[in-house]
A and B are shown apart, each in its own frame.
Chain A
Amino acid sequence: MTVIGWIQILLFCAIILAITPVLGAYMTRVFSGQRTFLSPILRPVELTLYWAGGVEEKSEQGWLRYTVGMLLFHVGGFVILYALLRLQGVLPFNPAGQSAVAPDLSFNTAISFITNTNWQNYGGETTMSYLVQMLALTQQNFLSAATGIVLAMVLIRGFARASARTIGNFWVDVTRCTLYVLLPVCVPLALFLVWQGMPQTLGPYIDATTLEGVKQTIAVGPVASQVAIKMLGTNGGGFFNTNAAHPFENPTALSNFLQIIAIFAIGAALTNVFGRMVGNQRQGWVLLAAMGVLFIAGILVTYWAEANGTNTLNALGLTGGNMEGKEVRFGIVASALFAVITTAASCGAVNAMHDSLTALGGMIPLINMQLGEVIVGGVGAGLYGMLLFVIITVFVAGLMVGRTPEYIGKKIEAKEVKMAMLAILVLPLMYLGWTAVAAVNPQALPQLGNAGPHGFSEMLYLYTSSTANNGSAFGGITANTLFFNITGAVAMFIGRFWVIIPAMAIAGTLAAKKSVPPSLGTFPTTGSLFVGLLVGVILIVGGLTFFPALALGPLVEQFAMTAGAVF
C-alpha cells in the first residue's frame, strides 16, 4: 500500500462528494419538470417525442400503471434485442462478418442488457457486429439505465408526496432522464475518451503485421460512444472481451479515473436528489454516508489483500503484491479501486481479472454484490435497494423509540414491510439457490476454471453477479453453455424485476399516505447513529445470510492460502 495509492482513493472520494450536490440539484430540476440550462435545445426534441409517442406530458400515472408501462417497455426492448442478435448475419454494419448469435446466448444477452446487467457470455469483438453493438446494446445501455433512475425517482416521490394517488409518468420520466441527464453527460464524456485514444469508427478491423511477422487483426469500432454510457449507466458491458483492461477501451490512467468516477456519479447524486425532494438534504447525505462506510471498508480490505499478495507468490520472490490478472498500466491500487467500485455500483465493467484477485480481495466484490448493491449501487437500483434496507432498519429499530416506525414522515406498516421483505428475500434465493443447483450439476462442474473452493467461488460469483445485475465475472468459468445461459438469465430477470415491482408498490402506498410531521418522539434518521444502525442492519440482515457460502469459498481459500495450499 503506497501513499500514491491512498491519494488516488481519497481523490476519488473527494470528487464524488463534490459532484453529488451539483448533479443532485440538476437532476432534481429535471425530474420536477423545471427548466434547465439545456431546455432551449432539448425542449423541442422532448415535445416532438411526446407528440410522436402520443404521450400526455401532464397526465400522471398510479404506481401500477407506471409499472405496467415500464414492463411493456422492457418486453419491447427484449424483442428488439433478441431479433437483432439472431438476425445479425443479414443486417448491415457488419464489416467483420459476424454470424447470427446462438438462441440460448441471444436469450441470455437480451435479458442481460434489458436488466442493466451486461453479463457477457461472449467476446464482443468476436461475436457482435457494429449494428448490434450500437442499436441493440448501446441503446439498451441508455434505456435500462434510464429505467433504473426513474424507478428510484418514483420511490423518492413516494416519500416526498403525501396523500397522492399518482407517482409520475413513466414515458415522460424516461424521456427526460435520457435527454437531460444521460445524453448531455455521455456526449462530452465520449469525446473526451476519443481524445484519450479510444476508437470511434464504423470502419473494419485493421490487419497488422507484428515485428515477428505474424498477422494480427486489431479490432476497432464505435467504442467511445458505448463506453461512455456503459460507465455512466452502470451497465458495464464491454465492447471488447477484456472490457476496460483493453487498451482501446481504457487507453490511459486518466480515462481509467474518469470511468470510475462516471460509475458512481449518478448513483451518488441520486442520494442528494432524494434529500432535496423530501425537503432535507441531510437525509440524502446520511444514505451516502452509510454507503461510504461500507465502500471504504471494502476498499481497505481489497487494497490490503492485493498489495500484500500471497505467501506462495512471495515465496517465489514475486513480492510487491498480487499482479496476476492485472494490467501493468493500472497497477494494484487502480485495479483494486476499480474492482470495488464496479461491484459496489452495479456496473460490472472490469479493468483486471477478478478471478485472479486474492481470496479476500475477491471476496469484497462478492460481498458488495450480495449486500444487494446498495453501496451507491446501479443507477437508481442502488438507491431503491438502499431504501428497502432503510425500511427494514427503521422498522426493526424504530419500534425501540416506542412509536410505529416512520421514515421521512411516512409510517412504515405491514404493507411496506411485506414488500421490502419480498424484494430482499429473493436475492439469497437466486444467489444461493442457483449456486446450490450448479454445485451438484454434473454438466456445470466441468465448466469451472478451478477446483476446490475457488471453483465454488466462480459459480457463486456468477449467480451473485447475475442476480445483482452486475455483470462482472470470475472469468475462469466457461459460462456460455445452455445451463448457465438459461439459469443466469433467470437470475438476472428475477433479480431485477422481483425487486422493482415490490419497490414500486411501496412507492404507491407511501405516496398515498399522510405525512407525519417530525417531533421529539420521532425516530431520528439524520445522524451518525442512524448511519451506524443502517450499516449494521445491512451487514446482519443482508450479509450474514451469505456467511456459509463465503466460508466455503473465499474464506477457506484464504485460510488455506495462508497455510501455503492452493487449489
Chain B
Amino acid sequence: METSKLRKRMPVNTLLDPSVVIPAIGQAFVKLNPRTLAKNPVMFVLEMVTLLTTVLLVRDLMTTGQAILFEFQIVVWLWFTVLFANFAEAVAEGRGKAQADALRKTRTETRAKRILSPDNYELYEGVSAEDLETGDLVVCTAGDIIPGDGDVIEGIASVNEAAITGESAPVIRESGGDRSAVTGGTTVISDRIIVRITSSPGSSFLDRMIKLVEGAERQKTPNEIALNILLVGLTIIFVFATATIPSYAAYAGGAVSVVVLVALFVTLIPTTIGALLSAIGIAGMDRLVRFNVLATSGRAVEAAGDVDTLLLDKTGTVTFGNRQATEIIVVPGVGEREAAEAALLASDADETAEGRSIIAMVQEKYDVRRQAASANARFIEFSAMTRLSGVDIGDRKLRKGAVDSVLNFAREQAGQDVAEPPAFRAAVDKIARSGGTPLGLVQNGRLLGVIHLKDVVKPDVKERFAALRRMGIKTVMITGDNPVTAAAIASEAGVDDFIAQATPEDKLRYIRSEQSHGRLIAMAGDGTNDAPALAQADVGVTMQSGTQAAREAGNMVDLDSNPTKLIEIVEIGKQLLMTRGALTTFSIANDVAKYFAIIPAMFVAFYPQLQVLNIMHLSTPQSAILSAIIFNALIIIALIPLALKGVKYRPIGAAALLRRNLLIYGIGGIILPFVGIKAIDLAVTGLHLA
C-alpha cells in the first residue's frame, strides 16, 4: 500500500536523533521512581527484585570482603534492564514531545474580542483567550487569531489553518452549512466572523492535540489491559517457579543464592514485552499523528485494527469529486469532428467542472483546437430553469444540457416536432445504464449527439479495495446516486456493497445492522448530517474541514480532510496490535533458551549430572547466568526500533500473516537467544568477567 504519497507534516525523527535520545537517557533515570513504574507491573516487579539484590550486595560487601564481582555484575545488569525499559518509553515519549513543542510554538498569547450582549455584535471587550467560557461569542476580523474552537454563527471569512493542518492555503469558513467549524489557534485572513465558542479553556482542539502527542493523557487501551493481565499472570507463575527452588535445593542438599534466583526470575518474566509495551502504544499514536490524523483515544486506534466494514462516501473517496466527460456519441450523419467542435464551442465559457472536462476531453480525444471566441458570440449560462447552456454565434445556436431540455430546444428551434433519431435514444439509454450522465448536444433544430459524463473512479482505488478484501475488510460505498448509477460505479471501483440514495437514516441503519452482527464499522464523514452515523460507528473519522458537530461525534480527525486515509488508519491500528503480539510471542519464546542457560548452572554444584542440560556449552555456571541476564537486557535495546516503527502489516490474509510472524517472532524467538547467549558467553569468558 502506497503510504508515502500522503503528505507528512511532522518531521520524522530518526531513531538516533540526539535531541530525542539525550533527554531520554535522563528520563530513564527519572522514571526509576517506583510510583511511575507501578503503572507497569512487570517493570515494577523487576525494579523491586533489583533493589533486593542491591541491598544484598551491599550487605555482602560490608560483611564479607570476598570477591563478589559476579554478584556485582548481575546487579549492574539488572539495573541496566530497568533503565533500558525506561529509556524505551522515554524515547517514544520524546518523539511525541518534539512534535508537541512544535505545536506549542504556534500558540501565542491570544486576546479575544468577547461580545458583551448577544443582541449587539458591535460591542465587545478584550479578554484573554484563557478566560473564554463555552457559549461566549467572539468577533474575529482579518489578522485575528481565533481564540478557541467554535462555530461561525455569522459571516464568512477565509482562515489560515496552517497551525493545525500544516496546509497554508486558506480555507473558507462560513455560518451555517458544513463549513462552520473553526479551530482555536488558526488565523482569520480576510473578512469578519462571529464565533460561538464551544470548548472550555484547556480542552481546545490544540490543547488536546498537544496532550495527545506528548502521551500525557495516554490511557491503557482495552487490549493493552488484557495483555498486561496476561503478563502479570505469567510473572506470578514464574514467582512460583523460582520461589520453590530453594526448598527443592535444600532437599537435594544444596543451596541456591538469592542473586541467582533473581537472575532466573528476571530472565523468565516477560521483561522484553513489559519494557516495550508502553513505547509501542505511544509510537502507535505517534504514527497516526504523522499521518495528520488525531485520535481522541488509543481505544479508537485499536478499534481501527479490528474494523470489518469501511463506509466510504463515493464522492472524493471512490471517485473524483466531479463528473467528467469521457466521449461523444454522435448521431448518424453527424461527423465526430463536427460534434466535437460544437461541444467545444458550447462549453467555451462554461466554468463548471463539467464544462472544463468537456473542453479537456475534446482537445485530447478529438484533437480540436480551442480558438478565440468570435466577437459576436453570446454565451448562454446554465440555469436551473432551462437546464441548458451554450452559445449563440450569429444564427448558430449551440446548446448542451439535460436530454429532455435539449429535445425541447430542438423542437422549439425547428418549429415542429423533431423526430428523435433512434441512435440518439440508444446512446442516452446506454450511458444511463452504465451509471453515467448523458448530456444532449444540439445545434438549432438538429440533434448532434450525446456527451457521456461519467463519475470517474480514482485510478488506484480498485487495488486498494482488493487489498482491503485480502485483509478481510468489506468496503461499502455511500452515495446519493440512484441505484443504477451506484451499482455501475460500485462494480467499476470494486467495492463490496453500496447504499444508493443514502439518507443519514440509511447510514445509521446500515451501521446498526452491521454492528448487530458483531462487525466493527469505520466511516469517514464531514457534514452535520453525518454526525449520528459517525457517533454510531466504532471508528468515526471526521474531516478537519467538517462541522463542529461532526468533529464531536467522531473519534478521529483527519487534518488533511482526505477520506481515503481510513485505509491507512486501519493499517496503523493493525500494526499496533501486531507489534504487541509479535513482541509478546518473542518474549515468551525466549524463555526456552534461558531455562537451558540457567537451570544447569543453578543446580550443577550439587547435581553434576545436570551438566548434560547445558546444551549451549556455556563455559561456567557464572558466565551462563551472567550471559542470560545480559542478553535479557540488551534485547530490549535491540528491539526499541521495532517497537517504535512497528511490525510491518501486509495485506496477505490472516493465515499467511500468522505463518510469517510465527516464523519470525515465534521460532526466531526460540532460536535467537540460544545464539545470543552463547555469543555473550564467549565474550564474557574472553574478557574474564566470570
Residues of A within 8 A of B (CB): 162, 392, 395-404, 409, 412-414, 416-418, 421-422, 424-425, 428-429, 432-433, 435-437, 439-440, 445, 452-453, 456, 514-517, 519-524, 527, 529, 533, 536, 540-541, 544-549, 551-552, 555-556, 559-560, 563, 565
Contacts and interface: CB of A to CB of B under 8 A. Distances in A.
B129 to A, nearest CB: 41
A559 B574 contact: no
14 contacts: A162-B518, A396-B584, A399-B580, A400-B578, A400-B585, A401-B658, A402-B305, A403-B305, A404-B223, A424-B237, A515-B518, A519-B472, A541-B237, A552-B251
B63 interface: no
Given A397-B666, A453-B252, A417 B229 contact: yes
B607 interface: yes
Given A400-B585, A529-B659, A533-B662, A559 B233 contact: no
B337 interface: no
Nearest to B584: A396
Given A399-B581, A456-B252, A552-B607, A421 B595 contact: no
A101 to B, nearest CB: 31
Given A514-B516, A520-B472, A548-B248, 20 more contacts: A396-B230, A397-B666, A399-B584, A401-B658, A404-B223, A404-B577, A424-B237, A425-B236, A429-B240, A435-B244, A514-B518, A516-B308, A520-B654, A523-B654, A523-B658, A529-B659, A540-B589, A551-B599, A556-B609, A563-B609
Given A540-B592, A548-B241, A403 B574 contact: yes
Contacts, number: 215
Interface in B580-621: 580-582, 584-585, 588-589, 591-592, 595, 599-600, 602-603, 607, 609-610, 612-613
Contacts of B247: 435-437, 439-440
- The residue in B247, B470, B471, B592 that gathers the most chain A C-beta atoms within 10 A of its C-beta is B247
7 A-B pairs with the lowest CB-CB distances in the bound complex, closest first: A521-B472, A399-B581, A402-B574, A421-B233, A519-B472, A559-B609, A520-B472
Contacts of A414: 222, 225-226, 229
Interface residues of B, number: 76
Given A402-B649, A551-B603, A556-B610, A541 B248 contact: no
B162 interface: no
Contacts of B591: 540, 544
Chain B binding site: helix, strand, loop or mixed by DSSP? Answer: helix
Contacts of A548: 241-242, 244-245, 248, 264, 595, 599, 602-603
A363 to B, nearest CB: 14
B253 to A, nearest CB: 9
B405 interface: no
B519 interface: yes
B661 interface: yes
B237 to A, nearest CB: 5
B581 A397 contact: yes
Contacts of A397: 581, 585, 658, 662, 666
Chain A binding site: helix, strand, loop or mixed by DSSP? Answer: helix
Interface of B: 222-223, 225-227, 229-230, 232-234, 236-238, 240-245, 247-252, 264, 302, 305-306, 308, 469-474, 516-519, 573-575, 577-578, 580-582, 584-585, 588-589, 591-592, 595, 599-600, 602-603, 607, 609-610, 612-613, 647, 649, 653-655, 657-659, 661-662, 665-666
B251 A545 contact: no
Contact of A433 (B244, B516, B519): B244
Contacts of B613: 551, 555
Contacts of A425: 233, 236-237, 240
A507 B470 CA distance: 32
Contacts of B609: 556, 559-560, 563, 565
A150 to B, nearest CB: 27
Nearest to B612: A559
Contacts of B658: 397, 400-401, 523-524, 529
A282 B658 CA distance: 19
Contacts of A440: 247, 250-251
Contacts of B305: 402-404
A549 B248 contact: yes
Contact of A402 (B226, B230, B252, B575): B575
Nearest to A456: B251
Nearest to A423: B233
A522 B595 CA distance: 34
Contacts of A428: 237, 240-241
B518 A516 contact: yes
